[in-house]
Amino acid sequence: MERTREEVLRELYNLIINKGTRDWERSVLTSTKDALEAGVNVNAQLAKLEEKFRPLALRDNLTGDVADFYLKITGESVEEARFDFSKHSIEDFNYQDYAIFGGGCFWCMVEPFETKSGIDSVLSGYTGGHTPHPSYDQVLGGFTGHVEAVEIIFDTRMISYKELVDLYWQLIDPTDGLGQFQDRGYQYRPIIFVRNEQQRQIAEESKQKVIDSGRYKQPIVTEIQPASTFWPAENHYQQFYKKDYKRYKRIKRYRQRFLLYQYLKGEIRMRWKKGKT
């Protein structure tokens, strides 16, 4: 649907003042705004803007809200994919609880949990650091102390916290404290964030079980920390596996291959040890 000059200008203003917008993106958006205010044809100006943003868009390297705006001007609807943040809340504290896990890029941490029975909501975000209201770029740059993580609301009548922790170990490389898979950096290290003593005990026992298994040659470095404020990521990064399934599938395939290789090495190591006893 074609938008009016006023509607486009309103969106441009919001993106320009958005703290998450990069300086270069802001300069392109400002030039577009100035041209529209000077009376330049809306469609012609948006076509020029699309051309400038295209190289970064093809590599999915635009900031979240700018990426959503790019989809709009290229005719792709993003309304159906908007995450309803208001629904990510506990309604019944008798039967619902939170779990928080950091395991590398949150793009690949959502689907494995969200598709399990008993999961009510999975939110991508940032936690464990010192900067309030961080943006994706700030966390990516390693300036905030936060890690990328997922916050899960689950129904305790259908799935237990222990089951979520058990699944978590299957999704990560617990020996890599400098990132996960192709994602490198402090902000991608694996951490289990516990909300109370019960969660801590379950997480500690589960971690010890992984250590005692002898499956890994390297030390288990996955941290267990108290949960702190969880800052939601921008809409563009919510349920990414649904929004850009082809790219997600490529990343997922890489992770699965690595984990399979690691699993097979662990099986060989455990059988070798068993044969020596």
β-pair partners for 155 = 96
Task: Name every residue whose Cβ is closer than 8 Å to that of residue 247 and which is 6 or more positions away in sequence.
Answer: 60
**Residues 127-165 pLDDT 10s:** 999 999 999 989 988 889 999 999 999 999 999 999 999
Q: What is the pLDDT of residue 257?
A: 92
Kindly report whether the global pTM for this prediction surpasses the value 0.85: no
> Residues in the chain with pLDDT < 50?
78-80
* Buried-state track 48-64, b at ≥16 Cβ within 10 A, e below 16: ebeebbeebbeeeebbb
Give the model's pLDDT for residue 207: 98
Tokens matching residue 172: 């990560």
First to last CA, the chain: 71
Secondary structure (H, E, C), the chain:
CCCCHHHHHHHHHHHHHCCCCCHHHHHHHHHHHHHHHCCCCHHHHHHHHHHHHHHHHHCCCCCHHHHHHHHHHCCCCCCCCCCCHHHCCCCCCCCEEEEEEECCCHHHCCHHHHCCCCEEEEEEEEECCCCCCCCHHHHHCCCCCCEEEEEEEEECCCCCHHHHHHHHHHHCCCCCCCEECCEECHHHCCEEEECCHHHHHHHHHHHHHHHHCCCCCCCCCCEEEECCCCEECCHHHCCHHHHCHHHHHHHHHHHHHHHHHHHHHHHHHHHHHHHHC
Q: What is the pLDDT of residues 86-124, one digit of tens each?
A: 889 999 989 999 999 999 999 899 999 999 999 999 999
pLDDT computed for residue 80 by the predictor: 46
State the pLDDT at residue 277.
Answer: 63
Which of 15, 105, 152, 227 is an active site residue? Answer: 105
Residue with tokens 């809306």, as numbered in its chain? 42
Domains of the chain: 5-73 (no CATH), 87-240 (3.30.1060.10)
Please, which residues have CB within 8 angstroms of residue 222's CB and are 6 or more apart in sequence? 172, 174, 177, 190, 191, 192, 207
Q: How far is CA 240 from the centre of its chain?
A: 8
> From the CA atom positions of the chain, what is the Rg in Å?
22
Give the span between the Cα atoms of 36 and 45, in whole angstroms.
7
> Could you give the CA distance from residue 24 to residue 20 in angstroms, rounded to a whole number?
12
Handedness of CA 103, 104, 110, 116 (dihedral sign): negative
Catalytic residue flag (residue 108)? no
pLDDT score recorded for residue 182? 86
CA atoms of 224 and 218, how far apart (whole Å): 18
Task: Identify the pLDDT of residue 76.
Answer: 64
